Amino acid sequence: MSTNRQSAINYWTLESGVVVFQFDCPDSKMNVLSSRVMNELSELLNELAQDTSVKGLILTSAKAGCFFAGADINDIQRLQREASPVEIYQGAQLFKAVFDKLAKLPFRTVCAIDGLCLGGGLELALACKYRIASNDTKTVFGFPEVNIGVLPGGGGCVRAPALIGIPNALALIVDPDAKISAKAAWKMGLIDAYAPANELVARAEDIALRGGSQVRRARKPLHLNILHKFLGGTRLGRYIVSYFTKKQIHGKKKSKYPAPFAALDTVLASAVLPEEKAFDLESRSFAQLACGNVSKYLVSLYFADQDSKKAVAGIAPALAVKTVGVLGAGVMGAGIAQAALYSGYNVVLYDLFTDALDKGRKTIADLFASLVSKGKMSQEQVNAIMQKLVTTTSFEPLASCELVIEAIVEDLAIKKSTLAKLEKANPNKFIFASNTSSLDIDAMVADARNPELTGGLHFFNPVHKMPLVEVVRGAKTSDATVACLIAFAQRLKKTTVVTSNNHGFVVNRILTPYMNKAINLAEQGVSPEDIDKAMVAFGMPMGPIALIDTVGIDVGGKVAHVLNAAFGERMRVPDILSWIESVNGGIAAGNKKIRADNEEAKKRGQPSLPEVRMILGTKTGIGIYTYDKDGKRQGLNPAIVAQLNVKPIKKTALEIQELLTLVMINEAARCYSENTVASPSQLDLAMIAGTGFPPFRGGILQYADALGIKLIVDKLRALSQEHGENYQPCDLLVEMANTGRSFYSRS
């Protein structure tokens, strides 16, 4: 073959007679296995098979840090929208046919992998006789297909177990987050050798010409070989694998997702089938999953996430941010500061009190220590990063910041006065972003020097675990400022959703009536444990009562009062929460006296008295539930039970789920009708990333579409007779029911 250029594949022949295929998808940072790429590859393989002068073939990539990121999800979504199950099955079979051509070439084929080798890219590599990879940290292997609700459909469920054994293959296929390094892949037997990136093609050429003498495969201990043969080669062994893999799936809370179970069944069944029938089974399983709602929802969410990254495409950020100021060294402020440090920013952490700064620094150090203990960082790296942290009780050091994020007490007047002091200390242009969870951004920055450089960055607690950041656009926030806030949050590896400046934005706006209703049910006599169990069964990561304790009754209470003031009776704060606030007020006053008495006792050398724990939830060990010192739930707080003092009533899990999901759907529809977010998919993305709303249901609005808008309106009207204004269907839902529209209907 002569040197030539196809649209996605460069190819040339080395002097040795070895041909090189270099993948380079145009107009993309990543290579993806699209139908276009596969068609080109198929044609080239046909030509190659007829050329008797070819001594070998090397597959490699022109993309830095990426061999293949996987299949083209645009193709998958198109098939889901347009193709029948039979056509999707046929598409999977065509993919395999191309890989089969590669596998049956009459000379040695070598895949030279540098960077990502995921999904379909790994299946392409498995069709080669040999695989060699760079030892760069960016080189990782995995099968992420379960993330979009399918299984490997290009032969991965057959070739991977045959090469590395059923247990190893399932570890990669069933867990979409399981990505392994080149060295780990070599030890597993997935690749034959690893080398520096600049030596890959030369080493691959040697392997193509001389075969196995040029590789040094990892030697597995004899007991592992025997174990893997038993687990994959016997009925009892496969039963054991099935049992423990199912436990793993349930442990990762994926029991509502069909793809991991289908992948398990396909891999185990393929082990006892002839290769052709095994490939056929995989294609049928892939088609069945791809046609299901769960996969369609997960693919939709993938594109919603991609859209969120393009919210201000083509607009340059207002400022180049190098140093970030964080106001407030509490849990949220320290979490934001640590995330910024971890992402390479210099950070100035401000607080009024030195003891708060000391606690904030310790919180940051503890978060980094956790990363060190997990092997994700070295202590030397942490030490270098901590040099970029400045703590201060003065505003002057904040003058070096291009972005300042406030995470102080949730009080509008205090936030306004803090901004005024900050502007006085910093004469330069900087972006001011509030981490408020519910307050009016426009009111907060009404007197700002540069209102176009203000907005909201609402992180969720705990910052290091929660993926969502709501980017709040105020009335005067410029597009360039929004672009800057998105760029900052995305550098922190956060999912961003842009919202308008409505009270509660998206997540808290929808979550508050949900949690309020859960408390109302408890006040009526429904067991809080039953309420939580019902919503966990629905797919939520925790129940609403447990969530209130986790968020903090004080924090949730402040949000509840703000939304009550903004929206009136339908956001009324439940009586039990008002009672808890009253009790906490008394405890706070009593603790203040205890502290004063302890100061006097200390002077006299007398023992001090312990302060009384406030009812705040998990952070004090006592909330609606009680908790032990390790944070494990012990049971209902007896004081709450006594205060409720109602006759127990029983509701089924379905009744509880209906009451709590319908109130969310109604509020989500109101939220969307007020243009709080750009699209239904962005609202769903916010609810999934911010609350853990089950992704397999597609988000609250996808779930509404699945139920049927007319049915929802009918149910809401019936429930409003007993449960009040929150269940009176909003105007948008009524209009949609009358016209037959859905949230995701396409014109």
pLDDT score for 310: 86
Sign for the pseudo-dihedral over CA of 393, 399, 403, 406: positive
Sign for the pseudo-dihedral over CA of 62, 63, 69, 75: negative
Distances (CA, A) of 333 to 328, 411, 459, 464, 498: 5, 15, 10, 12, 21
Q: Is 723 annotated as catalytic? A: no
- All domains of the chain, ordered by start, with CATH? 4-291 (3.90.226.10), 323-506 (3.40.50.720), 508-644 (1.10.1040.50), 653-739 (1.10.1040.50)
Give me 234's structure tokens: 């016997």
- State how far the Cα of 497 lies from the Cα of 505, in Å rounded to an integer: 10
**What's the number of CA atoms in the CB half-sphere (13 Å) around residue 394?**
6
pLDDT score for 208: 94
Q: Express the helix, strand and coil content of the chain in percent, nearest 5 each.
A: 55, 15, 30
Say if strands 130-134 and 180-181 run parallel, antiparallel, or are unpaired. Answer: unpaired
CA-based end-to-end distance of the chain? 48
CB 482 within 8 Å of CB 471 = yes
pLDDT score for 81: 92
pLDDT along the chain (747 residues), means of 10: 66 96 92 94 94 95 94 93 94 95 96 97 97 94 95 96 94 90 94 93 94 78 80 87 90 86 95 95 97 95 92 87 96 96 96 94 95 92 96 94 95 94 92 94 95 96 93 96 96 96 94 96 95 96 95 90 91 93 92 88 87 92 93 93 90 97 97 95 96 95 96 96 91 96 78
223, 228, 250, 458: the catalytic one is: 458
pLDDT score for 6: 53
- Helix axes of 731-739 and 653-673: crossing angle, nearest 10 degrees: 100
Of 738, 673, 658, the residue nearest 704 (C-alpha): 658
User: Structure pTM?
Assistant: 0.90
Q: What is the chain's Cα-based Rg?
A: 29
pLDDT score for 747: 34
Q: Please count the residues of the chain.
A: 747
